Chains A and B, each alone.
Chain A
Amino acid sequence: MAPIETAPKLYGMMAEFETAEQLIEAASRTRSAGYKKFDCYTPFPVHGLTEAMGVEEAKVPWTVFVCGLIGAMALFGLQVYISVIDYPLNVGGRDFLSWPYFIPITFEGMVLFAAFGAFIGMLAYNGLPAPYHPVFNVPQFARASTDRFFLCIESKDPNFQHDRVYEFLQSLNPVRISEVEA
């Protein structure tokens, strides 16, 4: 019977595990128990966890794709505008629209924009930077970036009832259960 720490106002209830496998197990059981608003915290990307939680998304890849497209078109357009429309010059007898010469920069533009898409997209969708987050109120959570695995059911969840959640978490036999102060 793990001890419980109470908190005045609840963000959610957090269970702490020792191994990734236990967490995966717990995540799938939490999901089948019908909880929607819960999240897992791990020191490294644990493969199979999101599947267990039933999270599917591909926002980042699409963002990257679109940004890359924009980048390529922007820089090709820039070169054409400059060399053909705005200030055409006879350079070594080459055609004004000597497009093969424009390919390298077009490509670089694609990569540059796409890279920013990936980086900024990732942060944006993750809502980072987030200087404050309730989970940090749990002292043990410091180990979330080292060697412990956490599962937190949030109080926003419609089925969230303090005792029910506590019993449920107990049934996952975690190392410890803590209430997360909002």
Chain B
Amino acid sequence: MEKPTNGQSTGEKFWRSLNELAESPEFEEQLAREFPRHAQPLSDFVSRRQFLKLMGASMALAGLSACGYKPQGPIISQAKTPPEHLPGESLYFATALAVSGFGMGVLAKSYEGRPIKLEGNPNHPASLGATNAITQAMLLDLYDPDRSQNVLKFGRIEPWTTFAAELLQKIAIQNAKQGAGVRILTGAITSPTLADQIQQFLKANPKAQWYQYEAVSWENLYEGTRLAFGEWLYPIYRLDQAQVLVALDSDLLYTGAGAVRYAHDFMQGRKVRKEQMRMNRLFVAEPMFTVTGMTADERLPIQSSKIARLAYEIARLLDAPVQAEPSGELTPEEQKWVQVVAGELKAHAGESLIVVGEAQPPAVHAIAHAINQVLGNIGKTVVFIAPPEAKPTLHTQDIRQLAQELQNNAVEMLIMLGVNPAYDAPADLNFTELIPKVPFSVHLGAYVDETAALCVWHVPETHPLEAWGDVRAFDGTVTIQQPLIYPLYANTRTALELMALINGQSGKQTYELVRAYWQKASGLTPAQFDSFWRKSVHDGVVPRTARPVKPVALKQSPLVVQLPEPLGAVQATNTLEIRFAPDPTIYDGRFANNAWLQELPKPVTRTCWDNLAFMSLNTFKALGLWGKATYAWHEDVSFVRDQVPLIEIQLNGKSLIVAAYPIPGHVDKALTLHLGYGRIRAGAKGSGAGFNAYTLRTTTDLWFARDAEVIPTRQSYAVARTEEHHLIDTRQKDPELDSTAHRPILLTGTLEEFRQDPELKNKSHREGYTHELPSMYPERHRYDRYENPDNYRYAWGMVIDPTLCTGCSACVTACQAENNIPVVGKEEVVRRREMLWLRIDRYFKGSPENPKVYQAPVPCMQCENAGCELVCPVAATVHDHEGLNVMVYNRCVGTRYCSNNCPYKVRRFNFYRYSYMKSPVLHLMQNPDVTVRGRGVMEKCTYCVQRISKARITAKRENRRIRDGEVVPACQQACPTGAIVFGDLNDPNSKVRQWREQPHNFAILGELNYRPRTTYLAKIDNPHPELSGAEVSHAGSH
């Protein structure tokens, strides 16, 4: 079944069947009779046989409408198979997954009732059909064997009923005193239905309190708007409108609720083609490289604490109405940067934008608003809406207050819904001591985590793919979440159910709750509502729920703000400024047990399974760590060993031992720590990985702090990374000695160079690709020899545009999910045996202090003259007639010669039986269209050949050629910026052919004459002539 992108077809069928069932209540008890055991808890080590029986049951229950789960609502049985069900065919259902309250719309692929892949929902404003790595990986959370499965009291298993009874009894007591002793702690809640339930409770118990806490909070945005406009507002950026984007300590293209959308919009201005020779320009000032920073045309490494000063300076140059007491000084380089930025902003007034990161104090946000105001950007490149949350709040303030009340024993009943304060609350609040003080504490969570261990009761949480719900996107748009599978573990509950229970609606199913709320909220007649509901659920968005744009105006002019004192100039070498940031993959720690995200190389550092104390090379040297940790015969090609030194960081009385790691482009005299690691009760995979940065994080120094004292230790620590570190072209050096940037790998150029010479002919390694190289044999396999109408062959090919690639790595995880790629674990990654088929190369160029970054996803190139095939003694890898370099897994004997002879090193070998999964539950997740590779077998990217075959079958059935864009590999599908295009090179009108015919199209290592089918467009950037633009020339020249 096709995804319901245009037609209603799926939806209607889907709904027809659901309605049939809704009208057949007798099915319920028939069901109960049929599957008496379906409600038993399913433990990880349950026997495979029994397991499959159960799964059989639950799959049947889940059926196609996949809204199974006995107390949850209608079920279809396979006994009356709905018309749209074809065995072996997958169906797609629109739903949404939320991270810290904000929804990302997805189309979940359901195979025989099992969700096996999540793809972006084109209708959803936060997705536009793409996703990010985290969303891709949330599928694994559903099947995680470490998920909590039982209701626990003090760690002992109790039946749900016991809990419910005790809870209701306690609630009754509390109701008597208007809930004075009740405190509810949740993450940020945007779900209207859940919020409504909570509000109902609060209405009934006016003395009760509802707190929200997010460790990675955006509260500064709200305070910023309050300073500037007098109310809490949420900014929506219109990056496709911006010619100049200035990001101050902000990673808006990667982190945050709107990141996927923002990356997409921003890249609309960077599609450089021969017919469109213009692009926008991105300025970034930040302490450490972020994804946004790697994309920047002009980047300024600067300590977070100096950003305020920087922003104020820009405001001053643009005479924005800001009044403040600047303190601290900018260096000449910073001055220069500021002048250029100010000039650019002015020059593009109304189509420029300055953005400040969540970590910056409200004053800096206010300054930015003032600047945007004076430039007339507000309303054009940025608009403001009311906060999407149901009850916007300041998280730090909430958690501090709760801590206060806990301290005073004012709390008799603490209900925590999907939060883990024992781990991620600021260290100075000592939540680990406070929680046990509560006589009746309930924790609802997917894992028995640090908090659950301290609570009286723990209730396992249902995965969003298992139950009904609703959630708002960053712009307020609501998605009705629909389940795709019967809950794997019968005792799990959603927050909604728990609140319903507390509110005395215990019998209600989430389906009824959500539907009832929207019935009320929509205020439609049942008949109207029915079609409204159908459409909303089918499309994955509820119409007209996006928050309206609010007109804003500075509440006073000039705006008087209190600039924070800059911490910048720290003298002693071993006292550094410390900056906390959410981890690029496991975020604030909630995904610590997600093996896909753990093994995904972090976009900037290419490390995985760890967080490290990142610092500049100079700082690293100044601390005397360089010699120990690195091997160098030459400044350019020194690299960091696998063993890096451990350092002890001391910050206001607290101390943390952490491994230090040098990263180019980091500002000196500062270090960056990622949150989310060092967990003790995350699960088998997450526990014990990395170092817990929260132990240093306090309410006063939530994001950055000065005077972190660093004491090197004697021990060292093994880091897992997929790229050797620090191979830098410092260009004063002899090219022959140089390692990276002089290599003809990526063709790069500036917009200026591209304008003058679209083919970038002056770049040395163009030769390889443009010249015809001699060959002994007739080259019958080149795609352009295929064009022969009577015997038409597809010639599959791919073109990747590194200019559009932010390095967000969504494609990598998508590939992993689609192709059943196993996770190998830290030890194996340390030994460089990661299995990811698709890697993202990251090259630095320029000075280690502030290098340029060039990135490109590198899949198998599907070479036409493939060396891997030539050296395989058993013909396990050969070419098919459509030009695919196919890998015959069950023919492979594992000599590994193909990998040696692959200049791109994109082949992966099963040194052990990586694909073996102890927990049968994980088998459910596997894509049945892709072979699971055994031990001793080579594997690699196949251009998602299974998707090609599927399209071919469809096309044959309809007696036509495969249409352009009909085959979308997982990587292309996930890419937010559309940097990857796949298709038939023989079709002159195909998008891939058009890209390939661009003048700046090139093949990596083309001079080897392997004739890769995957080619690239030159990486074009747009440096400012007065800054790096003056000196930056191209990587890949020598």
Q: Chain A residues in contact with chain B, CB under 8 A? A: 89-95, 98, 100
Contact = CB atoms under 8 A, between A and B. Distances in A.
Interface in B63-100: none
A100 to B, nearest CB: 8
Interface string B837-867: 0000000000000000000000000011111
A92 B780 CA distance: 11
B879 interface: yes
A76 B864 CA distance: 27
Contacts of A89: 875, 878-879
A20 B949 CA distance: 82
Contacts of B867: 92
Interface of B: 776-782, 863-870, 872, 875, 878-881, 1011
Contact of B869 (A91, A95, A98, A100): A91
Most A CB contacts (10 A, CB to CB) among B875, B880, B881 go to: B875
13 contacts: A90-B878, A90-B881, A91-B872, A91-B875, A91-B878, A92-B866, A92-B879, A93-B781, A93-B864, A93-B865, A93-B866, A94-B777, A100-B776
Contacts of A94: 777, 865, 870
Given A93-B780, A93-B1011, 16 more contacts: A90-B781, A90-B878, A91-B869, A91-B878, A92-B863, A92-B867, A92-B868, A92-B869, A92-B870, A93-B777, A93-B782, A93-B879, A94-B777, A94-B870, A98-B777, A100-B776
The 4 A-B pairs with the shortest beta carbon distances in the complex, nearest first, are A90-B879, A92-B869, A92-B870, A95-B777
A155 B880 CA distance: 75
Contacts of A95: 776-778
Contacts of A90: 781, 878-881
A95 B781 CA distance: 10
A95 B865 CA distance: 11
Contacts of B864: 93
A90 B872 CA distance: 13
A95 B872 CA distance: 16
Contacts of A100: 776
A95 B869 CA distance: 13
B620 to A, nearest CB: 45
Contact of A92 (B778, B865, B880): B865
Nearest to B1009: A93
A95 B775 CA distance: 11
A111 B541 CA distance: 75
Contacts of A92: 863, 865-870, 879
Contacts of B868: 92
Most B CB contacts (10 A, CB to CB) among A89, A93, A94, A95 go to: A93
A153 B863 CA distance: 76
Nearest to A98: B777
Nearest to A97: B777
Nearest to B878: A89
Contacts of B878: 89-91
Nearest to B870: A92
Contacts of B778: 95
Nearest to A95: B777
Contacts of B776: 95, 98, 100
Contacts of B777: 93-95, 98
A94 B866 CA distance: 9
Contacts of B870: 91-92, 94
A88 to B, nearest CB: 10
A90 B785 CA distance: 15
Nearest to B881: A90
Contacts of B880: 90
A179 B1011 CA distance: 83
Contacts of B865: 92-94
Nearest to B779: A93
A98 B775 CA distance: 12
A85 to B, nearest CB: 15
Most B CB contacts (10 A, CB to CB) among A90, A92, A100 go to: A92
A82 to B, nearest CB: 10
A95 B880 CA distance: 14
Contacts of B782: 93
Nearest to B883: A90
Nearest to B777: A95
Contacts of A93: 777, 779-782, 864-866, 879, 1011
A15 B868 CA distance: 70
Most A CB contacts (10 A, CB to CB) among B776, B777, B865, B868 go to: B777
Nearest to B871: A92
Contacts of A91: 869-870, 872, 875, 878-879
A93 B880 CA distance: 10
A100 B776 CA distance: 10
Contacts of B869: 91-92
Contacts of B780: 93
Contacts of B866: 92-93
A84 to B, nearest CB: 13
A93 B778 CA distance: 9
Contacts of A98: 776-777
Most B CB contacts (10 A, CB to CB) among A89, A94, A95, A100 go to: A94
Contacts of B863: 92
B581 to A, nearest CB: 46
Nearest to B782: A93
A94 B870 CA distance: 8
B777 to A, nearest CB: 4
Nearest to A91: B869
B601 to A, nearest CB: 30
B645 to A, nearest CB: 46
Nearest to B1010: A92
A90 B880 CA distance: 7
A100 B870 CA distance: 13
A98 B779 CA distance: 13
A101 to B, nearest CB: 9
Nearest to A100: B776
Nearest to A90: B879
A104 to B, nearest CB: 13
A92 B902 CA distance: 12
B610 to A, nearest CB: 39
Nearest to A89: B878
A103 to B, nearest CB: 14
Nearest to B880: A90
A163 B879 CA distance: 84
B870 to A, nearest CB: 4
A116 B777 CA distance: 37
A107 B490 CA distance: 69
A100 B875 CA distance: 18
A162 B673 CA distance: 112
A152 B878 CA distance: 67
A100 B777 CA distance: 11
B830 to A, nearest CB: 33
A110 B780 CA distance: 33
A90 B870 CA distance: 10
A89 B870 CA distance: 11
Nearest to B866: A92
Nearest to B1011: A93
Contacts of B879: 89-93
A95 B878 CA distance: 13
B881 to A, nearest CB: 7
A25 B869 CA distance: 67
Nearest to A101: B870
A81 to B, nearest CB: 15
B129 to A, nearest CB: 35
B780 to A, nearest CB: 8
Nearest to B781: A93
A98 B866 CA distance: 15
Contacts of B881: 90
A94 B775 CA distance: 9
A89 B880 CA distance: 8
A93 B884 CA distance: 11
A122 to B, nearest CB: 35
A91 B777 CA distance: 12
A63 to B, nearest CB: 33
A92 B1011 CA distance: 10
